[in-house]
Amino acid sequence: MAFTRYKSFSSYALCHRYWLLSTILTLLVWGGLAYWLRPQRELDGSFATYPYGLGSSLENRALDQLFLLRDALHASKRIRGQYEPITIIEIDEGTIRESGVRLQKWRRDWYARLIERASLGGASVIGLDIMLSEEGGTSPEDKAYDQQLIDTIAQAGNVVIVSTLPTGGFEGAQPLRVFREAAYAVGFANFPLDTDKTVRSTQLTYSPPNEETELSFAARLAEGYLASQTPPGQAPPFLKSVSAEANILGSRLLPLRKDGNLQLDFRTYSPGFRRISAHQILSDKEAAISEELFRDRIVMIGASNIDAPDLFPTPFFQPSALARLFEKNLPNAARVPGVEIHATAVATLLFGDSIRRMSYRWQIMLLLLPLAVTALAVFRLRALFASIIVVLIAVGVLAISSWLFNSRGIILPLASFWLGVCVLTGLGLALRQARESALRDFTEAERAEMMDIFSRCVSEDVAEELWQRRDKIMSGERRIVSIIFTDIRNFTTISETVGSDQLVQWLNDYFSRMHKIIDSHGGHINKFIGDGLMIVFGAPATRGDGAEARAAVSCGLDMLAEVGRMNEVWKDSGRPQIAIGVGIHTGEATCGVVGAERRLEYTVVGDTVNLSSRLESTTKEYRVPLLISEATARLLDNEFDARALGEVKVKGKNIGTKIFTVSRKNEDPQQPAQAAVA
């Protein structure tokens, strides 16, 4: 039921369509996340910038957290690189310092000595992460150093060198032909960078128009290593594309990201693999180097000094407060040299976990679960409990994401989970607050109108009590009530003899006198029916059926007496002499607030009301001022004398009704009638 102060559509919707609005809001957040996660295709048809939709950047950051947590919680994952057959010969800061030459001016014969040592140590394949697109110098000495490097590469027979792809408007670079012919293979060294310039994946192939497909540096090294492990007479495995979403290398299926790159399975903070300083090989300390560092291993040579040209941020670049909760002694993050990222790519191809994201369809379907639980908590529970549940959901999503990542290599849309939970919580609490505000306004409006209605019937204290059980009153309730109907005799004739202003004045005087008597007996005027009154005892509050019936009879007798006194006062004022009839019946009736949107009232309906009205009309036939029914008479005590007048069939009733006139004991039973008929 709408109340007069409760009019706006938004308030109505908030109060009466709250769960519909909650469902719509949850679905809107879910739809927004679905669009947020939808891979965005570029003009060239690729998904290079947004492989996981507009949320790619946040999803990448969340993936970083999974790597950092795995490193803090799982030592076996952290130390894998130390036991994998990969060795990095690093041209570190100490090597540069001892040589006294900047990396860009390094002599080519020094690289030759590093390759030679790895080859003599029994390396399965050697990767030289140094660009050889130009000669080392123009002097005869520099040319001799170049030739020494060429000869060493050719003699080793298993050296992979690097090229670069066209990028950023610059053309790619290839090694000089003499180096290409001497090398085992050439692979491009470019790393795809995410929007935050962080390396998280590697490109395995590049297919220029009308040219042969090129493989990455890491892919060439992986192929070379597998070829060294292949028994004679068998064809070595090569990297093959089986679909746009996967490659295969040997027996390993390599799932690809939406942008066609391979997600790198990072080991730990740098250094993640076994390393040896180039200075040790180039100095007199070479004899102390263990052969285990090279035998049957992938040996990679590259720069790691602080001003190396290829230092990149990785998932381990940014410190993580979350990871430090589980491992306080984490190293300081630093940029990782390109040679180690290549080593990570090789390890991912050969030994790593097959890290992959679920399909877009599965991701958006899974998003519904935490959103649904969040919605139930936010829209149904108290704010404190809802907040606890939301925190538990966030922690639970993180725990499940971490477990799936560590045990199955599956990446859930963790950032989108968290974003959806946060957004839905914020919007949900705002909607809930708006609803509570609307409910408060509605309740205040309802209370004001109900109290206005009740105040006409009962005292303020009783009205407050009735407000507390307003639901029953609003919906209607069956109660035992005593109803009084009164009517002024010959009112039509009287009204024709006086002016309208005088008529209103004496009617107001009459009604005021009657109201005081009614109020003193605990009844209330439910309706003004022209010159008549409908008076209710026992609703909306009751003192008991007998007490209400006796109060109604006492009220009726006092009203008759007051009419007699009023006639004495009016005798010399020119006002008419009046008489009233009173009918009283006690019985069950339906009581409640009824009406239209802009007009409500508390009313009593039912056969009890009708019979009371009929009894008032019957007083004329029996020429008595007051009639009560048998039901009312049974509830009277010794204070009253009830005189039976017989049984009448009241108009509208098929069963006869016993009727009585009544007076107080020790009172002339004719006195009320005489006063009333004066």
Q: Is the pLDDT of residue 173 over 80?
A: yes
Chain centre distance of CA 435 = 16
What span, in angstroms and rounded, lies between the C-alpha atoms of 44 and 290?
51
Please give the share of the chain, as a percent, with pLDDT higher than 90: 49
Which of residues 350, 374, 400 is at a domain's end?
A: 350
Q: Is the pLDDT of residue 36 over 60?
A: yes
What b-and-e string marks burial along 54-67, b requiring 16 or more CB atoms within 10 Å of the CB?
Answer: ebbbbbbbbbbbbb
pLDDT at 1: 43
Domain that holds residue 623: 461-677
Average pLDDT over residues 271-292: 84
In a domain, 188, yes or no: yes
Identify the burial level of 504 via C-beta atoms within 10 angstroms of its C-beta, where 0-12 means exposed, 13-18 middle and 19 or more buried: exposed
* Total number of domains in the chain: 2
- At residue 572, what is the residue type? D
Highest-pLDDT range among 12-21, 279-288, 554-563: 554-563
pLDDT at 449: 67
pLDDT in tens, 469-480: 666 666 678 889
Same domain, 526 and 653: yes
In a domain, 474, yes or no: yes
Q: Are 419 and 20 in contact (CB under 8 A)?
A: no
Average pLDDT over residues 34-47: 87
Task: Please write down the long-range contacts of 97-106, taking CB distance under 8 Å and 24 or more positions apart.
Answer: 98/279, 98/282, 98/283, 99/279, 99/282, 103/303, 103/305, 103/307, 103/308, 103/309
Same domain, 517 and 666: yes
Query: What's the 3-state SS for 625-674?
Result: CEEEEHHHHCCCCCCEEEEEEEEECCCCCCCCEEEEEEEECCCCCCHHHH
What span, in angstroms and rounded, lies between the C-alpha atoms of 507 and 491?
11
Residue 211 is given by DSSP the state S
Tokens of 518: 């009614």
> What Rg, from alpha-carbon coordinates, does the chain have?
49
In a domain, 39, yes or no: no
Same domain, 280 and 154: yes
What span, in angstroms and rounded, lies between the C-alpha atoms of 669 and 652?
29
- At residue 424, what is the residue type? L
Q: Which residues, in sequence order, are bridge partners of residue 602? A: 593
Highest-pLDDT range among 109-118, 134-143, 166-175: 109-118
174 or 328, which is more confident? 174
Please give the share of the chain, as a percent, with pLDDT higher than 70: 89
Which of residues 286, 319, 350 is at a domain's end?
A: 350
In a domain, 417, yes or no: no
Same domain, 473 and 596: yes
pLDDT band at residue 461 using 50, 70 and 90 as cut-offs: low
Q: Is the pLDDT of residue 455 over 80?
A: no
Q: Are 224 and 185 in contact (CB under 8 A)?
A: yes
In a domain, 540, yes or no: yes
- Mean model confidence pLDDT for the chain: 86
CA distances to 293, 580, 607, 622, 648 from 645, in Å: 126, 19, 22, 8, 9
Domain harbouring 473, CATH code: 3.30.70.1230
Same domain, 512 and 645: yes
In a domain, 357, yes or no: no
Same domain, 346 and 495: no
Same domain, 345 and 466: no
Q: Is the pLDDT of residue 678 over 70?
A: no
Question: Can you give the pTM of this predicted structure?
Answer: 0.69
In a domain, 445, yes or no: no
Same domain, 480 and 344: no
In a domain, 30, yes or no: no
Instruction: Give helix then strand counts, H and E, for the chain.
Output: 24, 26
Same domain, 119 and 265: yes
Tokens of 673: 């009638």
154: CB partners within 8 A, 6+ apart: 182
pLDDT at 11: 65
Sign of the C-alpha dihedral, residues 50, 53, 55, 58? negative
Q: Are 258 and 73 in contact (CB under 8 A)?
A: no
pLDDT at 547: 92
- At residue 258, what is the residue type? K
Same domain, 611 and 485: yes
> Which residue, 66, 48, 54, is CA-closest to 258?
48
Which of residues 350, 377, 404 is at a domain's end?
A: 350
